[in-house]
Amino acid sequence: MGLRLGAWLAAALLAACAPLQAQQPAPATAVAVAADLREQQHSLPVTVPGPGGEASGAITITSFRPRGDGPFPLAVVNHGRAIAERRAQQGRQRFEPLARYLVDKGFAVLVPTRLGYGDTYGQADPENAGRCDALQPASMARAASEQVLAVVGWARTQPWIDASRWVVIGQSVGGLAVTAVVARRPPGLAAAINFAGGTGGNPDLRPGDPCSPQATERLWRSQAAPEPTMLWLYWRNDLYWGERWPARWAEAWREGGGRVEFHTLDPVGRDGHNGMGIDMDHWVPLVEDYLARAGYTRPGLPKRPPPSGYAGLDDASRLPAGPVARDLYTRKFLAAPSPRAFALGPTGSSGWATGDWAIGRALGYCQARRGDPCKLYAVDDDVVWTP
């Protein structure tokens, strides 16, 4: 994970840009704005069915969009559900690395923080699916999908969004929400991506052994819809579901008449359930291909420039930036293992990253605070900068 220019900026933006997974929520006090993605917050009143009757409240929608007036095609991204002990700390959901990728593809991105999470935690919990031995995923899926469709309805009123053809994406319980949205066959839905979807998992108490997995299997067999063909992405070392149940769930979807492209990716990190945020190098090519076939052909992969010969990698004196950026380059970037990337902006900003999605994260860290477009200075062992 990369750092940013200056100690204060490093600490603030590290919290801001870390991938937000439902099971590893950001603190509720974390406030982050990506200026280059034109990040904004919006409030939307919703009323949805819940286990104790209807639940109402104002949910927060975090939006990201490209430069220009639009209208931009729509992608709605949906979060998961932290285990009970961590749900109070599950703050506003952002998924910034994913949003950055989608904005690069030309999408306006909306990330709703649903009822019972973030600012509405403790007011109502319409996604409470009941006891572990008697889980009711249908009610949870219905409540979540109602909110997704409310967000799409709001999007249709915004002049900068083209919601005539749209994409829905979700992680964990957000993936469950995606399947429920597909089952309802809403107009304009062009593509649907499920990252590690399901419910009932607990990596601490029941690693790889979710609650009532047969209930999810039955639900997905009964609600499957033939259009659009869905993309499902899971990881072998998912501590919420294990490897066996996602494959059975995908088969149940097919048995119900749905169409799904199912992928089990190699283990990543300690818990592959968080693969959406920590394995972009491997899932992005699959999503690029899938979205291209749905008509979204603009590439979202950041390009790696060829070596430029501008300077030697170790010659920080040639870096067209101030002493702070040069110090960051020397102490942090040059000491980091590959893959790694270092980026510079026109007004003194800089950013670097190592590991997964290094180029995209370095550019994002550089651009996020001031909004200036940044360029790559070095990638791995090559200087790629051109004046």
Residue, of 275 and 14, whose pLDDT is higher:
275
Model's pTM, two decimal places? Answer: 0.89
Higher pLDDT, 31 or 130: 130
pLDDT in tens, 168-202: 999 999 999 999 999 999 999 999 999 999 999 99
What mean pLDDT comes out for the span 318-336? 95
Of the pLDDT bands very low, low, confident and very high (cuts 50, 70, 90), residue 90 is: confident
pLDDT confidence bin for 32, thresholds 50/70/90:
low
User: What average pLDDT score do residues 267-274 get?
Assistant: 97
H or E element that contains 251:
helix 244-255
19-293 architecture in CATH? 3-Layer(aba) Sandwich (3.40)
Cβ pair 102, 291 in contact under 8 A: no
The residues spanned by each domain of the chain are 19-293, 316-383
Residue 23 has pLDDT above 80, yes or no: no
How far is 112 from 110, CA to CA, in rounded Å?
6
Instruction: Return the H-helix or E-strand segment holding 217.
Output: helix 213-223
Q: Which residues of 271-290 are buried (b: 16+ CB within 10 A; e: fewer)?
A: bbbbbbbbbbebbbeebbeb
| Alpha-carbon separation of residue 132 from 198, 206, 229, 240 (angstroms) | 13, 11, 31, 13
